Amino acid sequence: MKITKLLVANRGEIAVRIFRTCRRLGIATVAVYSDADRAAMHVRDADEAVHIGAAPASESYLRIEAILAAAATTGANAIHPGYGFLSENAAFAEAVLAAGLAWLGPPSAAIRAMGPKDEAKRIAEEAGVPVLPGYRGEAQDISTLTKAAEKVGYPLLIKAVAGGGGRGIRQVSKVSELEVELISAVREAESSFGDGRVMLEKLVERPRHIEVQVFGDQHGNVVHLFERDCSLQRRRQKVIEEAPAPGMPEAVRKAMTDAAVKLAKAVGYQGAGTVEFIVDGSKPLAQDTFWFLEMNTRLQVEHPVTEMITGTDLVEWQILVASGGKLPLKQKDIKLSGHAFEARICAEDPAEGFRPGAGLILEFGLLEEPDGESLRWDAGFESGDRVPSNYDSMIAKLIVHGETREAALEHLTATLAHTQLCGVPSNAGFLRRCALSDEFAHGTHHVNWIGDNLDALAAVPQVHRASALSAVATLLLDDDGAESPWDLHDGFRLNSVPRRDVLLAADGAAGLVDPDAPIADGTPFPLVTDLSPRRFAVTCGGDTFLVTVPEFSADADAALGGNVVKAPMPGKVLSVFAKSGAAVTRGETLAVLEAMKMEHALVAPRDGVVEAVHASAGQQVADGDVLVLLVEE
């Protein structure tokens, strides 16, 4: 079937990225959108757009019948699922084909085979692919799982059988932790995947995560496009990915890629897929240090780094394969060139436990213009867009390429230094601090490395804030264009030494700023964007500050903030631990909120006594709703 009009059953940057390839190939595009995405970038970018429901994904992006109706209404003859949502839903794949449309994904049989992690590991074992020891039985009672855990040995991991994206995974160090972590993992798995079954797996204590990109066609051909290292993770979600993996010997690369291709052939794989391996990072890479983890039966978030080192367009390959064509390259013709990194730009605050943020983006973009070859910018939002609270916090991907890993890494850190995101929280500075670390530079980081060093990585350096304030103060005191001595901002004072101070506020904290105060050597130069006469977006080292010239008015909330625990975003209250009259200590968890597909612990801002509780489990709350009030003890 020749694909003439493609509907993307997804949103954000992946939809925009797919549309880019479609435009180059002359294929018409259709976007679908929820209430929350009515004015979204992917809607503006498509040739046509169809509304499919309310903001919650269950009422829009997960509605198969609504997506098929949108295809019928617009005359689309193919559907691309993107990633997340319905991308690995076998029933969706079957429904698309039953409607007479082309499906830009693998066969439903491969999705079903590789979906449950326990079944995927069984198939991998039969195909001769190395698998970690663990428990993958049907019995899910606590007694059976406790006995199985003893056999596997501690420490171990609890994993949701239907899991993905780091959800439904818990680490258990000793038997006394098992039951509590099981309850938590099952609850998250049921909430995220509608399937609470879990499996147990022996824990690799210093793990690396290396995956292989595979691709198959309808004619039995399967190739690999080398490997990616995705070991830099927070809460088991990828942060920065790279290709190829650092320190990868050719013999190990061959063993790993051969295993990936073998597994893909075992399930009759077609289209783009990724075979993931867990690697023992405590020793050099060898043929006996990696084990099969899972297979993702879709295009991965990090596919651009593979495209950068192989000179391919994997979405174009998907279109070709779905149309019945053969793979455009044979294995011997796929060459590896240079090194690439991808950094996931998220609207989240690493210093607040990676709390996602929602709201209006005041300024968003790069200082350097992307050329698509050495620098690529896959974004689903731009300045003036509103980030909704209903979906994942990733809003863009920064991808760089260099002839060597060192050159690519230097380009990455330089670009992150001036990646500006203002109006919602940004993780760009955090990403840059990770990339600048000695461990990342030497490729010795591992999956748990961020967790082990989180305080240092998440903290915004004071010198970045000082530099941002100084830059705005200097701008405001600029004497260019002064027509008389009375217009000069030279700090002249009668019978005293000159002094130049400006009252400024950065993210709400006000103070006098001396633009002539020295800034530490090596501090990245600040990027200043004038938002309005009294507001500036300033980025230094990837950390963006909203700097304002404050007005002299009282802020009642500032006075009360130490006694109030508010919902940081719209969501559902899962648990409430605070009890009226109970004494609490600073940092103690008072409630747990579920929002943007994650659980968020809301803690006491200081020691005190609970005066009132305004929330209950199961309650839907809005951004800023007061959940708990404290008083001094």
Active site residues: 298
Pairing of strands 222-234, 237-243: antiparallel
Bridge partners, 544 (sequence order):
539
Q: What's the DSSP call for residue 99?
A: T
Prior bond of 155 cis (ω within 30°): yes
| Contact yes or no for 397/13 (Cβ under 8 A) | yes
23 SS3 class: helix
Give the residue carrying structure tokens 């990225």: 17
Phi-psi region of 236 (alpha: psi -120 to 50; beta: other; left: phi over 0): left
Pairing of strands 571-576, 589-595: antiparallel
* E runs forming strands in 124-221: 134-135, 156-164, 167-172, 198-202, 207-216
12 SS3 class: helix
Pairing of strands 583-584, 608-613: antiparallel
| Contact yes or no for 272/327 (Cβ under 8 A) | no
295 SS3 class: strand
The radius of gyration of the chain from alpha carbons, rounded to an integer in Å, stands at 26
H-type alpha helices, 311-404: 314-322
Q: Which amino acid is it at 337?
A: S
Which run of H or of E encompasses 152?
helix 142-152
Rounded CA-CA distance 22/502 in Å is: 51
DSSP 604-621: -SSSEEEEEE---TT-EE
Which run of H or of E encompasses 453?
none
Rounded CA-CA distance 109/93 in Å is: 10
Determine the Cα angle at 610 with ends 606 and 612, to 5°. 130
User: Backbone phi, then psi, for 377, in 5-degree steps?
Assistant: -130, 100
**Burial class, 284, CB count within 10 angstroms (exposed 0-12 / middle 13-18 / buried 19+):** exposed
Q: Which two tokens stand for residue 429?
A: 């500075």
Q: Would you tell me how many other CB atoms lie within 10 Å of the CB of residue 614?
A: 14
Nearest to 509 by CA among 540, 546, 473: 546
Say how far residue 373 (Cα) sits from the centre of its chain.
23
Nearest to 414 by CA among 508, 542, 303, 549: 542
